[in-house]
Amino acid sequence: MPKKVLFIMSDTGGGHRAAAEAIRDAMIERYGADNVQGELLDVYRVMRYPGNRMPDFYPWVINNAQAAWALAYKLTDNPKRARFASHLTYTLNRGRLRQMVTQHPADVVCCVHSLLGQPSMSAYQAHGQRPPWVTVVTDLVTTPYFWYDRRVDRCLVPTQAAYDRALAAGMTREQLRITGLPVHPNFNRRLTDKATARRELGWNPDIPTVLMVAGGDGMGPMMETAEAILAQRLGLQIVIICGRNKALKERIEAAGYPNVIPYGFVTNMPQFMAASDVLVTKAGPATISEACIAGLPLILSSRIPGQEDGNVQLVVENDAGAYAPSPALVAETLVTWLGEGMDALAARAERARTVARPDAVWDIAEEVWQAAHRQPVSMTRTTPM
């Protein structure tokens, strides 16, 4: 019988689904498709309103209510307050979450979403026994304390800073392991040399290339940033991934900018990163991890206040990139970098690689696989959140 792996996640941003798919596919590759049955469950969709609309609200919130988001992060940047908020979420959705447990049987639960782990664990605790539980933290540095539930069996974190925050939240060293962030196994395989990638994509092979990415929803001032870069007359090729933002792609196409190539949603990001010299992106953990594996220097053009502050710190302190939170600052940074020469840019690429943990997904897959073979956990234990 295949081992049933239930991934607790949500489509609030693309990183949670990507992490779950990366772990699932690594498990299938290593242990066989006949031995692994992975299910991705968007737990917000299980909840009552307004929780069940969070995947729909999220892009608007990130684009239009960052001050409120920052305040919420600050108010819950404390283990006790995070546990209280999680308990409230469980209380308001108790019936639906308990029903979720019975409708989705599993040999192991793997949680890749900070806000959904503790309420879901409380629903499992309401039964006589539960499957082994592995939490995979998918924020890099200033990780929300919602991640850290003392009831879980294993908590895999991406950095030393995340490990230290877990200890501060009351978790034990025996529960924890630093693994890095899971990036899909195919990412490494699909990285090629720059010349090959540009030839396959049909890009100009002879001029510096800037890749602009703003998540699957194409958020942020992408067009304004491109215009600021073009105004510097740097002789660049600018590639813009618009994601699902069709209106943005149409605006760029209509403008007819020279050497600006817009794309919609793409599935060959390793090829795009291999073909590029600089990445301009928001400070999302998944994109940062992929860029570092690809050896691609980063210009971080925005961040989610609070939880992504540490991501900026990680990139800047390792000299793998810069923080430039406006179109004008992005353009100025490119002027500086290109003025230093391509050798200096190549040195930044090597420093980015030092941050990477390309084997993280395999270590995580092994942890989840081992947990799937353990016995269910009896609820005679009363470990607090």
Across the range 295-301, mean pLDDT stands at 96
Q: Are 371 and 132 in contact (CB under 8 A)?
A: yes
The pLDDT tens digits for 167-204 are: 999 999 999 999 999 999 999 999 999 999 999 999 99
Query: Is 80 exceeded by the pLDDT of residue 217?
Result: no
Q: How many domains does the chain have?
A: 2
321-323 and 298-302 beta bridge pairing: parallel
Residues 82 and 151 placed together within one structural domain of the fold: yes
pLDDT at 382: 57
Residues 258 and 173 placed together within one structural domain of the fold: no
Q: What is the sign, positive or negative, of the torsion defined by CA atoms of 11, 276, 314, 303?
A: negative
Residues 292 and 213 placed together within one structural domain of the fold: yes
Beta carbons within 10 angstroms of residue 30's beta carbon? 15
Query: Is 70 exceeded by the pLDDT of residue 216?
Result: no
Residues 208 and 72 placed together within one structural domain of the fold: no
Residues 193 and 145 placed together within one structural domain of the fold: no
Residues 231 and 92 placed together within one structural domain of the fold: no
The pLDDT tens digits for 235-290 are: 999 999 998 888 889 999 998 888 999 999 898 999 999 999 999 999 999 999 99
Q: Is residue 246 part of a domain?
A: yes
Rounded percentage of the chain residues whose pLDDT exceeds 70: 97
Q: pTM for this structure?
A: 0.91
Cα 17 from Cα 11, distance rounded (Å): 6
State yes or no: cis peptide before 50, omega within 30 of 0. Answer: yes
Q: Is residue 383 part of a domain?
A: no
Residues 340 and 371 placed together within one structural domain of the fold: no
Residues 209 and 171 placed together within one structural domain of the fold: no
Q: Is residue 385 part of a domain?
A: no
Residues 13 and 150 placed together within one structural domain of the fold: yes
Residues 300 and 347 placed together within one structural domain of the fold: yes
Q: Is residue 341 part of a domain?
A: yes
For residue 368, what pLDDT band results from cuts at 50, 70 and 90?
very high
Beta carbons within 10 angstroms of residue 214's beta carbon? 24
Q: Is residue 302 part of a domain?
A: yes
Cα 10 from Cα 112, distance rounded (Å): 9
Residues 177 and 199 placed together within one structural domain of the fold: no
pLDDT at 332: 97
Q: Alpha helix locations (H) across the chain? A: 15-31, 54-64, 66-75, 79-92, 94-103, 114-125, 160-168, 185-190, 194-201, 222-231, 246-255, 269-274, 285-294, 309-317, 327-340, 342-355, 360-372
For Cα atoms 141, 299, 111, give the angle at the middle one, nearest 5 degrees: 35
Q: Is residue 295 part of a domain?
A: yes
The CATH number of residue 201's host domain is: 3.40.50.2000
Residues 163 and 294 placed together within one structural domain of the fold: no
pLDDT at 306: 87
Domain that holds residue 51: 3-183+359-378
Q: Is residue 384 part of a domain?
A: no
Q: Are 19 and 182 in contact (CB under 8 A)?
A: yes
Q: Is residue 51 part of a domain?
A: yes
